[in-house]
Structure 1
Amino acid sequence: MNLQLVWLRSDLRIHDNSALAAAAAKGPVIAVFLRSVAQWQAHGHGANKIDFWARGVAAIKASLNGLNIPLLHRDIDHFDEAPQALLEIARAYGVKQLHFNYEYPLNEQHRDQAVLEAFQQADIAAHGHHDAIAFAPGSLLTGKGDYYGVFTPFSKAWHKQITAEQLALRDTPKVQSPLDIKSDPLPSLPSLDDEPLDGRHWPAGESAASDNLERFLRFRGRHYKDQRDIPKVRGTSELSPYLALGMISYRQCMQAVMSENDGHLADGDAGLTTWVNELIWREFYQHVAVGFPQVCRYQPFQSHTQQLQWRDDDDGFAAWCEGRTGYPIVDAAMRQLVTTGWMHNRLRMITAMFLSKHLLIDWRRGEAFFMRHLVDGEFCANNGGWQWAASTGTDAAPYFRIFNPTTQSTRFDPDGEFLAQWLPELKTLPTKARHAPPRDMLTPIEYPAPIVDHKAARQRALDAFKALSK
């Protein structure tokens, strides 16, 4: 029997899955999921993401069972145990070939390479597939042959070189003849550092992901450019958790856009093309992780900013984490994050810039806090966003660009509705007063005064960056 083994990771779907499609084209398939909770926690993933991951595995197990593909489950503590765990399965069942989809952060790259080498030594074929991105890292380069460090030229090159084959959906496996191999029961999660939030807001699995995509394109996609920055409006796709764990593919998203946009990705409806650009941002940051591996080692993309003098301010950091900085838009956003495991993208920029610029606290502390709470926590996107806000990364906001939180609040939540939703103590204030509550209006209300003055904090950040030498 030409038995194929598919190793599932952050690609929890049966539709349009490169590794699964390639395996099913060669013979009967068994699948395996290696759960490595200790490693995930070492990488900063919190209970919300790990719980979503577990529910995603349960969902794909049900889908695989419908195809008579058994899903094996193994627990390992760390990535370096993966080669041996997979080899034991391959030998036990007489597997002829292993298939998996590549992941791009540095530790994941090393793990995947170790697996390929172990299988080569064991004389068992193993194949890695570039599935989460259109272009394999190193295949989309500047004219000088370098990885792109700026998004706009990367995006232009992406659009210019993308092919129909890269966007074509991979075949879904047909129902195979039953194997004399049973799926493993899925064990419950071990005790985690935090309790995961109620998962009902983020139902797991590719069916839920596809439903989200359909609703977004039907009702909100064409308004995306105008509504994506307004936190009170449900204007974003809300697909980030599903993309992070591969419960939906970038190809399915691109194909859905083309069907709504007369076959176009780069022109046509402004809302849809703006969203396509956000999908390309995701790919860009994965290329950055490979091309500039220092970002995977807790170092800034822009090396000269390594010397920046960050402040040790545990009280300020705690106030930021707990939503009590005295800046309503920051506090409302942080409460949304801690309560729901998700934060609106405009608010991610505002809160990240507040921590790194207003408080001059090391962006890596904020990056870790986000990763701990986000259900869509993904290293490449999270790191890229934080380094952008802190002016240490690719396409970084110029160091002198420092959001005024109050101005951002009045611009993107003019009626203070988002503020009132997450800061009920401000609900009774006049709309305009919610953005920067006067102290005399707050006497009966328990809401803190601003922990830092915007003008003084801005100057402090400017001085810190000006002190750097490139």
Structure 2
Amino acid sequence: MNLLWIRKDFRINDNPALSAALAAGPTRALFISSPTQWHQHHLAPIQADFMQRQLNTMAQQLAQLGVVTECCQVDRFADIPSFLSDYCQRHQILGIYANTEPELNEVRRDKAVLSAGLPLHLFEGHSILAPGTVYTQAGDMFKVFTPFRKQWLAKLAQGGSVPLPAPTPMAAPVEFTPITLAYPMRDSQLWPVGEEHAQQALSDFVQHRLADYKSYRDMPALEQTSCLSPYLAMGVLSPRQCLHQARLHFPDALEQPDSGAFCWISELAWRDFYRHLLIAHPKLSMGHNFVAKADHAVWRESEADFNAWCAGETGYPLVDAAMRQLNQTGWMHNRLRMVVASFLTKHLLIDWRKGERYFSEQLIDADLAANNGGWQWAASTGCDAQPYFRIFNPVRQSERFDPDGTFIRKYCPELTHLSAKNIHLPKPELRPIRYAKPMVDHSFARKRALDAFAVLGKG
């Protein structure tokens, strides 16, 4: 008997570990719930609910393939090797099949399982190109995205990125038993579950919105992005499937850098970039700045300011609308993630780690590599970060990307009466009493940030 160890890879198609396990013989599946470890990783209750729903959907699919799925609770990763040793003996497991994960604790967990002498077979399924395969001429990991993407595209041109098909059933269907995870839950019903839905959402995006993606992706009121990030984060979709669909409909995308398809494929490259970085630089999983000079930056300690930012009560409408979108839906538009991260780290001078943690605790699509990469980019402390002197002006961002104030009105209804001209930063005489005053003046905040981040420009 073989064992499929399910992690964040809730799909049947393009699942290397599942395909290999079934090809090797009769298989059963196991999901290990680790509530204590999840709490330490700040797993969002909405993502836990989404994960539970996806797990049950996959377990039903596996049952049709003749694979029984079991869920066992092992609170900490450190206890998994001994648990698996006993489990394999009880079920006479010949091989454990699993897809890799890039986070440091997960990598250490797998090494401990291998060190315990267990027959763990690992497969790459979370990136388009496996970490360690895209490198400089010196054999090192890239520190800047653009040359990474150039090499990444060159590797893609050599082939090898075609998704695996769904495996053939190896046995008669078995009974499905619902699984419940012991973790705080927040309703994720806004997001349908299942591989079939995710595939349809991908197809709809590629056919109807991808061509114009570059033109409209930064406009949060238009809903022109793919909204596939929760499915990628949970492995319901693989990034290879996304790339394959894009290239299927736009065969020349990689040769057309001004096209919407190339722009979106570049976002998939960013995803790979951050995951490769997490493997190459384990300190990123431990809350360290990528840039050593950033260790000398002095952050402000203000719980009041941080709480106001979390609640969407900064007095800057676009920032507030974005944070309210996050709090209400568990998701935030990507342009707005940059805006609010810049505001917290540059306008309020609050440590990026606090923002990263809050995102982890709220996002349905929370992913350590992307979350860490995005926050360190905004804070100018990370790999290929924006220059420290680039500080987003939240009013200019609002005027440019939500010119009519449509998005702001959706999440800040107290500002609905304001005109498109006045809604981006209401004048005192137009600002409703119940709407917060701007907590900091932009010009003052910009100068303060430049002074604080000058340490990044020294030497």
**Which bin holds the TM-score, normalised by the shorter protein?**
over 0.9
Q: Secondary structure at the match of 2:163?
A: coil
Choose from 127, 142, 145 the match for 2:139: 145
- Cα distance change, pair 453–130 in 1 and its aligned pair in 2 (3 A): same
Aligned residue number for residue 344 of structure 2: 355
Pairwise CA distance, 1:205: 2.0
Q: Which moved more, 1:236-245 or 1:72-81?
A: 72-81
Q: Which moved more, 1:419-428 or 1:84-93?
A: 84-93
Q: Which moved more, 1:452-461 or 1:288-297?
A: 288-297
Question: 1:222–1:269: 8 Å Cα contact kept in structure 2?
Answer: no
Letter in 2 for 1:347: L
- Cα distance change, pair 191–170 in 1 and its aligned pair in 2 (3 A): closer
Distance of 1:150 and 1:460 partners within structure 2: 27
Aligned residue number for residue 38 of structure 2: 40
- Cα distance change, pair 93–78 in 1 and its aligned pair in 2 (3 A): same
Does residue 465 in structure 1 map to residue 453 in structure 2?
yes
Question: 2:330–2:364: 8 Å Cα contact kept in structure 1?
Answer: yes
Distance of 2:256 and 2:88 partners within structure 1: 47
Question: 2:34–2:75: 8 Å Cα contact kept in structure 1?
Answer: yes
Q: Which moved more, 1:404-413 or 1:294-303?
A: 294-303
Q: Secondary structure at the match of 1:428?
A: coil
Question: 1:12–1:247: 8 Å Cα contact kept in structure 2?
Answer: yes
Pairwise CA distance, 1:166: 2.7
Q: Which moved more, 1:330-339 or 1:206-215?
A: 206-215
Give a deviation string over 1:397-439, Cα, whole Å, max 9, x none: 1000001000000000000111111100100111110001011
Letter in 2 for 1:168: V
Distance of 1:164 and 1:11 partners within structure 2: 26
Letter in 2 for 1:400: F
Give a deviation string over 1:120-151, Cα, whole Å, max 9, x none: x25xx321011111333222211112111111
> Scaled by the length of structure 2, what TM-score is found?
0.96
Distance of 1:157 and 1:322 partners within structure 2: 42
Distance of 2:255 and 2:383 partners within structure 1: 22
Q: Which moved more, 1:377-386 or 1:66-75?
A: 66-75
Question: 1:73–1:184: 8 Å Cα contact kept in structure 2?
Answer: no
Letter in 2 for 1:144: A
- Cα distance change, pair 362–75 in 1 and its aligned pair in 2 (3 A): same
Does residue 202 in structure 1 map to residue 191 in structure 2?
yes
Pairwise CA distance, 1:306: 1.0
Letter in 2 for 1:385: G
Choose from 166, 171, 182 the match for 1:177: 171
Matches within 5 A, 1:71-150: 71-118=69-116, 121-122=117-118, 125-150=119-144
Letter in 1 for 2:168: K
Q: Secondary structure at the match of 2:160?
A: helix
Aligned residue number for residue 288 of structure 2: 299
Aligned residue number for residue 190 of structure 1: 182
Give a deviation string over 1:235-287, Cα, whole Å, max 9, x none: 11000010011001111111111110126435377111110110111111011
Pairwise CA distance, 1:228: 0.6
Q: Secondary structure at the match of 2:254?
A: coil
Aligned residue number for residue 356 of structure 2: 367
Unaligned runs of 5+ in 2: none
Letter in 2 for 1:306: D
Distance of 2:56 and 2:364 partners within structure 1: 17
Matches within 5 A, 1:32-431: 32-118=30-116, 121-122=117-118, 125-162=119-156, 166-178=160-172, 185-187=178-180, 189-190=181-182, 192=184, 195-196=185-186, 198-262=187-251, 264-267=253-256, 270-431=259-420
> Scaled by the length of structure 1, what TM-score is found?
0.94
Does residue 17 in structure 1 map to residue 15 in structure 2?
yes
Choose from 451, 459, 467 the match for 2:439: 451
Q: Which moved more, 1:401-410 or 1:84-93?
A: 84-93
Give a deviation string over 1:345-399, Cα, whole Å, max 9, x none: 0000000000000000000000000110000001000000000000001111100
Distance of 2:157 and 2:395 partners within structure 1: 44
Q: Secondary structure at the match of 2:388?
A: coil
Give a deviation string over 1:45-66, Cα, whole Å, max 9, x none: 1101111111110110111111
Give a deviation string over 1:125-181, Cα, whole Å, max 9, x none: 3210111113332222111121111111111101101266531222322122249x8
Distance of 1:455 and 1:438 partners within structure 2: 16
Question: 1:254–1:265: 8 Å Cα contact kept in structure 2?
Answer: no
Letter in 1 for 2:337: R
Question: 1:8–1:31: 8 Å Cα contact kept in structure 2?
Answer: yes
Q: Secondary structure at the match of 1:309?
A: coil
Letter in 1 for 2:189: R
- Cα distance change, pair 200–184 in 1 and its aligned pair in 2 (3 A): closer
Pairwise CA distance, 1:78: 1.1
Question: 1:6–1:20: 8 Å Cα contact kept in structure 2?
Answer: yes
Distance of 2:366 and 2:388 partners within structure 1: 26
Pairwise CA distance, 1:19: 0.4
Distance of 1:467 and 1:388 partners within structure 2: 16
Q: Secondary structure at the match of 1:201?
A: coil
Q: Secondary structure at the match of 1:462?
A: helix
Question: 1:67–1:176: 8 Å Cα contact kept in structure 2?
Answer: yes
Q: Secondary structure at the match of 1:439?
A: coil
Pairwise CA distance, 1:86: 2.2
Q: Structure 1 runs of 4+ off > 3 angstroms?
A: 181-185, 263-266, 467-470
Distance of 1:190 and 1:126 partners within structure 2: 26
Pairwise CA distance, 1:297: 1.2
Question: 1:402–1:458: 8 Å Cα contact kept in structure 2?
Answer: yes
Letter in 2 for 1:462: L
Letter in 2 for 1:27: G
Identity of aligned residues (%): 43
